[in-house]
Amino acid sequence: MSRSRRKPPGDYGIGYRRPPSHTRFRKGRSGNPGGRPRGMTTTRAKRLALREAYRLITVREAGQVLRLPALQVLWRQLIAIALGGNGPAVRLVIDLIQSAEARTLSDRESELTLGMLVHESMRSDRTGANKQATSQSEHHVVEPNRATESD
């Protein structure tokens, strides 16, 4: 068996995919100057999905031309399919509406709770201010005929 002998690093033919040895690796120059191409990150994917969901689409409905967000058009189509008797579409619409109502209800409850806390806080501040005003009025006597205070 004959083994092929390797030539020394600088001793090879120059040609296709064989650059001259003095130009192969330049100092200070990256081996991949363009870098890895940008991929689809989750943040970028979410941003793209939202941009497409709210992109305005021209729709003709009942003889009128409307410009609606794609998400609204999608909802209208899904509801139309569900009204046509498609069982899975009906279940999907019902599930989506129930979850939206539950979220809306929980948002309202949290707003109500927050409002009650703020109201209670303001009420306690007012009663504290009334107590301070009462204690201050004990120290100062205001006579109706005079505009000055006396101790």
Query: Above 60 in pLDDT, residue 56?
Result: yes
Output the pLDDT for position 136. Answer: 47
Look at residues 89, 57, 85, 82 and name the one whose alpha carbon lies nearest to residue 71.
57
Which residues, at least 6 apart from 61, have a Cβ–Cβ distance to it below 8 Å?
76
Angle between helix 87-139 and 70-83 (nearest 10): 130
Mean pLDDT calculated for residue range 20-37: 78
Query: Above 60 in pLDDT, residue 130?
Result: no
pLDDT single digits (tens) 110-119:
877 877 777 7
pTM attached to this predicted model: 0.46
More confident residue, 143 or 34: 34
Output the pLDDT for position 122. Answer: 72
Output the pLDDT for position 50. Answer: 93
